[in-house]
Structure 1
Amino acid sequence: MNINKLEDKIFSINDALGNIREEVPISFLPIDTSQLDLDSYATNFGNTIYFIPKITLADVISLIEENGLINQNDKLVLKIDCEGCEYDVVPQMSELRRFDEVILEYHGNPYPLLEGLTKAGFYAEIIIPRMIYAKKLKASKDIKKK
């Protein structure tokens, strides 16, 4: 973000996302910095375990508002890359109403996510394998006919 001078446009939250607030274990393999694992069994392999906060979508919205990062008319894009917890977010999809667009990486079956986004007022589609793009529907003219 700093290299691209986007720190005033992107608000990054490096917490786990889920349906309840709690701390979750994350293992870190020092030999491969790209590999994180939410499974607690990772300690058996000599990995370092860190406990990080898990927050809800409502918490994300509150953090953005409390930090004065948005005005009422700002267009907001939410990028969710939460390594398997995306299904915990489905019951909270109504919280997405403040966002204009959602980009969501998924693992497994995408259909509960597509359905949740649709019920929350978005047109959602798989744009590439494991990636959903959703745009808020503003009026009936935005709905694509199939």
Structure 2
Amino acid sequence: MKKLVKSLYLLYFFLKFKNWSIAHFLAKDGFPLDRIQEISVKDGKIVINKTGQAFTIDQIAPCKSSFDLLLTIVNHDQVKIDTAGKEVYITWDGVRVKVDSFENYYVASELFIEGLYSLHYNKSLVVCDVGMNVGVASLYFAHMSNVQKVYGFEPFKETYDAAVANFNLNPAINHKIVPYNLGAGGSTSDLVIPLSNVDSATKSTTDFVLQHLDTDAVKTVTVQIRDIQEVVQEIFTNHPSEELFLKLDCEGAEYEILEKLDGSGLLPKIKVIIIEWHFKGYEPLEKLLTANGFASVVFPRPTHTIKDMGMIYAFKM
């Protein structure tokens, strides 16, 4: 039955666009028929009708699992996509990042369109970005006029290098970012972990998260983790006049990080904390935050791969 449906899709897309390669691409990956009027085909490229933006199949391929996401991004008035060369770049309010995977498109959408970290705070801040990934959030924070410095922590070398490349695209603000090819956790250690066959945004150093991911049974990678207590204390020492904003998107390490900050007495000294939780629920995190004088708001954000995840926005009262 599925083969028949795809064959009908293929015929429909070919009759509409007169291009077998594009018809096969759209049919194979299930382009939503209810949005078909938003695109056309010209000179062997897929054109977004609203903007006139043209994509090759290779450029659009990272979003083949979610054409809706791509169409939402390219049709957004405040986001510009550069497809002039082989690589694709997204620009938002002067911030420019390379997008070469679905996860990078997704993260750009979360920050630039949804405003996941759209924090309006009129005091001088320093940001500790744990789970820097390819640097989109660090750039977003550095773009804020009241943010004086961003310290970013990313343990995976390939992902870290991609972040540095994105920082180099933004010379007007990259001086505010201090990146580390390190993770942050409950203690300082070197971890040997199995390689996971997932995009950068879902790589993890924690055992309970790795159990849910597709990992290689043979290949491993060694990553360095630094004690979050040392990280935060050093930031306080270097920035006695700024308030600290802690962002945790670290695929499971958020639990041990908050426990360590609670045990060390540093947690109540932080003013703002935004956490993405994974697999173990928000309750243990919220309990620690409440005990340390934070008011928090919880937003579940399940995905098709991770049902137990979401955001916590916490503010020291």
TM-score by length of 1: 0.70
2:250 counterpart of 1:82? yes
Moved more, 4-13 or 110-119: 4-13
Identity of paired residues, percent?
Answer: 24
For residue 123 of structure 1, the aligned residue among 290, 295, 298 is 295
Judge conservation of contact 1:17–1:54 (CA < 8 Å) in 2. yes
For residue 7 of structure 1, the aligned residue among 174, 192, 212 is 174
Partner of 2:188: 21
Q: 1:127 to 1:34 in 2, by over 3 A?
A: closer
Q: Which has the higher helix share?
A: 2
For residue 203 of structure 2, the aligned residue among 21, 33, 36 is 36
TM-score by length of 2: 0.36
For residues 50-90 of structure 1, give each alpha carbon's deviation from its aligned partner in whole angstroms, at most 9, with x where no partner exists.
Answer: 21222222121134256x3x1x2212211011111212123
- For 2:243 and 2:184, the matched residues in 1 are separated by 22
For residues 32-66 of structure 1, give each alpha carbon's deviation from its aligned partner in whole angstroms, at most 9, with x where no partner exists.
Answer: 4445243499341x65x321222222121134256
Q: Which has the larger radius of gyration?
A: 2
Partner of 1:132: 312
Judge conservation of contact 1:18–1:88 (CA < 8 Å) in 2. yes
Q: For structure 1, list consecutive stretches of 5 or more residues without a partner in the other structure.
A: 138-146
Q: For structure 2, list consecutive stretches of 5 or more residues without a partner in the other structure.
A: 1-138, 140-166, 302-309
Partner of 1:106: helix, strand, or coil? strand
Moved more, 106-115 or 32-41: 32-41
Cα deviation for residue 97 of structure 1 reads 2.8
Partner of 1:76: helix, strand, or coil? strand
2:222 counterpart of 1:51? yes
Judge conservation of contact 1:19–1:88 (CA < 8 Å) in 2. yes
- For 2:180 and 2:295, the matched residues in 1 are separated by 25
- For 1:127 and 1:10, the matched residues in 2 are separated by 28
Moved more, 53-62 or 74-83: 53-62
- For 1:4 and 1:97, the matched residues in 2 are separated by 34
- For 2:236 and 2:175, the matched residues in 1 are separated by 14
Cα deviation for residue 117 of structure 1 reads 0.9
Cα RMSD (Å): 2.9
Cα deviation for residue 12 of structure 1 reads 4.3
* Residues matched between the structures, number: 131
Partner of 1:111: 283
